[in-house]
Amino acid sequence: MIGTPFQQEVLRKLSDLSPVYIIGGAVRDSLLGFPSKDLDVVTVLPLDQIVTKLSDWGYKPHTIGVHQPTVSLFQGKDRVDIATFSGDLEKDALRRDFTINAIFQDVKTGEIKDPLSGLQALREKRIESCGGAEERFQEDGIRILRLIRFAVRYSFDIAPDTWQAAAKQISLLRGVALERVTEELAKILMLEEIENALGLLDDLGYFNMYIPELARLKGLIQNQYHTKDAWDHTRRVVKNAPSTVLLRLAALLHDIGKWETASRECYTWGEIKASARGYTVNEFNLIGKNLKRWLHKNVEVHGGRLDNYPETIVVKRIKPLQTLPKKHFEMVLNGKRHFLQHERESARLVKELLTRFRWSMVLPGGNSGERELHFLVGHHMQGNLTFMSELKGEIHSPKTRLKARRFAWEIGWNGQSFNSQRVENLLDLWKADFLGGKQDAEDNLYRLEGIQSEIRSACTFLKERSRLLNWKFFEGFAREKGLEAEMFGQFKEHVHKRVMFDDKYSLTDLRFLEKEYNFYCKSESSAWNNHKPRLK
């Protein structure tokens, strides 16, 4: 019989009272040779009688659901869901989603009952609806996502009428609870052939309707370092990512800001002015850092003009001009393709996307899992930007080791403790991205792995270093200087970084602490400007 000893014991007792049939995924998976954790069964016994009998036998049944209530039993990871039906197997089968899930097995005899030819569909590796496809999807829109999951998990074809009905009624998912949609998408993300699943969801029109930020990556040409457009690259990165919901989801969303930031290399010359929109040169809005220092100065701006917002230039470099050239703007012939600051835009869009789902249900840590997702997407370029020279072949040196420690600390330190798992997650996402269709990625993988090995060694060093630190002498020093509250915290954080990166610094070295204290007394922070060092 299908099931664990606990499940089999319950079903044997129930089958002594009335015919009981195992139905759905457990039968399907048993016939395909896959294990199944949960059992769904049907019987003609009324639910209240089932509850009474189970209670009399010492079980603790739970009645779940309103429209189609079931009685559920749990023991450890084992679960049995029991529903009542009229006894008409074909009528019950026609209420189910797909014929491969409408195969019954008699608990007492082991006999297979197949009213809708589900066995033939299994043999032919085909998924088709039970009865009219449109009607089945209208009964429960989540079946559209289940269709994709089953097709990809088992490498089955989808019957044409079932596929057409799903594509036609994709909008039905708007009426499905966000929790159910999120749970089904999480299961899809965990599939081994996730790249195929994403392709089917796209063909179905799911992304166009529910995540257009992904759909618009199709056909978005990247720079010369990539062999694939932004959408095919994204699918490859998801496939490369370890099969955890957090990393697969981060991989799926890591580049959604590229459409917003896609640009071509350009120059513009003129005076930087302030406006209600920020800073401008000629007719262009500017996006960049430290623009205020160039206000009212004639400059040359080198940057990228946004494809989809042509009135905006993202700044790469600015330099002063003595005299203005005759022209004020020029696109660079065969200029570079840019996606400047796309990781920031991706992180911003992730915050918007989170409101459309309930990812906190399936991410480790709940709401903190959503924050980790946002962090990973917003920092996925950090490795490439930090170790650009090493990736190009520069020989590793003590400088690289120090750089690795700084990188690990900035990623892993959350203000209270060092989280090496966050660093590991970012390394996994970085590698998946690196192998997602870039030119010569396979040939240069050894460089990336060397850098990541250095970072992992840095994590080990930082954890051990943190364990050995004794803050007692430092706290006495800070009290003697009159540092309290915010100023104490700022100074401690600064000193903490110094002693963590380099073991030549010590918390018991008075000269080191005095040097760092004097540095902080010159800080521009208003709190420090008002601080008067305590005289001895």
Weakest mean pLDDT among 224-228, 249-253, 475-479: 224-228
- The amino acid at 436: G
Same domain, 183 and 203: yes
Per the structure block, which two tokens stand in for 99? 């014929």
State the Cα–Cα distance between residues 532 and 523, nearest whole angstrom: 13
404-457 confidence digits (pLDDT tens):
999 999 999 887 888 999 999 999 999 999 998 776 777 789 999 999 999 999
pLDDT for position 527: 53
Same domain, 141 and 180: yes
What's phi and psi for 534, nearest 5 deg?
-75, 125
| Contact of 361 with 182, CB cutoff 8 Å | yes
Q: What is the CA radius of gyration of the chain?
A: 30
Same domain, 159 and 244: yes
In a domain, 222, yes or no: yes
Same domain, 237 and 271: no
In a domain, 457, yes or no: no
Region 206-224 average pLDDT: 92
Domain of 75: which CATH number?
3.30.460.10
Domain of 205: which CATH number?
1.10.3090.10
Same domain, 155 and 182: yes
Same domain, 143 and 71: no
pTM: 0.89
Spell out the residues 6+ positions from residue 132 whose beta carbon is closer than 8 angstroms to its own. Answer: none
- What is the pLDDT confidence band of residue 373, given thresholds at 50, 70 and 90? very high
Report the mean per-residue pLDDT for the chain.
91
State the Cα–Cα distance between residues 372 and 422, nearest whole angstrom: 8
- What is the pLDDT confidence band of residue 536, given thresholds at 50, 70 and 90? very low
In a domain, 389, yes or no: no
By CB atoms closer than 10 A (0-12, 13-18, 19+), residue 526 is exposed
pLDDT for position 185: 98
pLDDT for position 525: 54
State the Cα–Cα distance between residues 215 and 154, nearest whole angstrom: 26
CB atoms inside a 10 Å sphere around CB 476:
10
Same domain, 38 and 100: yes
Residue 239, Cα to own-chain centre: how many angstroms? 13
| Contact of 448 with 394, CB cutoff 8 Å | no
In a domain, 503, yes or no: yes
Q: Where are the alpha helices (DSSP H) in 413-481?
A: 420-434, 445-468, 472-480
- What is the pLDDT confidence band of residue 30, given thresholds at 50, 70 and 90? very high
Q: Where are the alpha helices (DSSP H) in 4-62?
A: 5-15, 25-32, 47-56
In a domain, 388, yes or no: no
pLDDT for position 70: 92
Same domain, 104 and 162: no
Same domain, 114 and 132: no
**Which residues pair with residue 265 across a beta bridge?**
304
Same domain, 206 and 243: yes
- Residue of 443, 449, 419 whose CA lies nearest to 431: 449
| Contact of 412 with 423, CB cutoff 8 Å | yes
pLDDT for position 449: 94
Same domain, 485 and 516: yes
- Residue of 162, 224, 211 whose CA lies nearest to 185: 211
In a domain, 387, yes or no: no
In a domain, 430, yes or no: no
Same domain, 296 and 205: no
485-519 confidence digits (pLDDT tens):
888 888 898 899 888 888 888 999 999 999 988 88
In which domain, by residue range, is 515 found? 471-529
Among the three residues 185, 215, 249, which one is the final residue of a domain in this structure?
Answer: 249
Cα distance between the two ends of the chain: 84
83-128 confidence digits (pLDDT tens):
999 889 999 999 999 999 999 999 999 999 999 999 999 999 999 9
Instruction: With both helix axes pointing from N to C terminus, report the angle between 420-434 and 398-412 in degrees, rounded to the nearest 10.
Output: 110
105 three-class SS = strand
Among the three residues 121, 149, 182, which one is the final residue of a domain in this structure?
Answer: 121
pLDDT for position 256: 97
| Contact of 313 with 284, CB cutoff 8 Å | yes
Region 369-382 average pLDDT: 97
Per the structure block, which two tokens stand in for 177? 């609870």
| Contact of 136 with 143, CB cutoff 8 Å | yes
Among the three residues 311, 338, 365, which one is the final residue of a domain in this structure?
Answer: 338
pLDDT for residue 183 is more than 90: yes
Give me the number of domains the chain comprises. Answer: 4
307-325 confidence digits (pLDDT tens):
999 999 999 999 999 888 8
Spell out the residues 6+ positions from residue 221 whose beta carbon is closer than 8 angstroms to its own. Answer: 229, 230, 337
CB atoms inside a 10 Å sphere around CB 58:
6
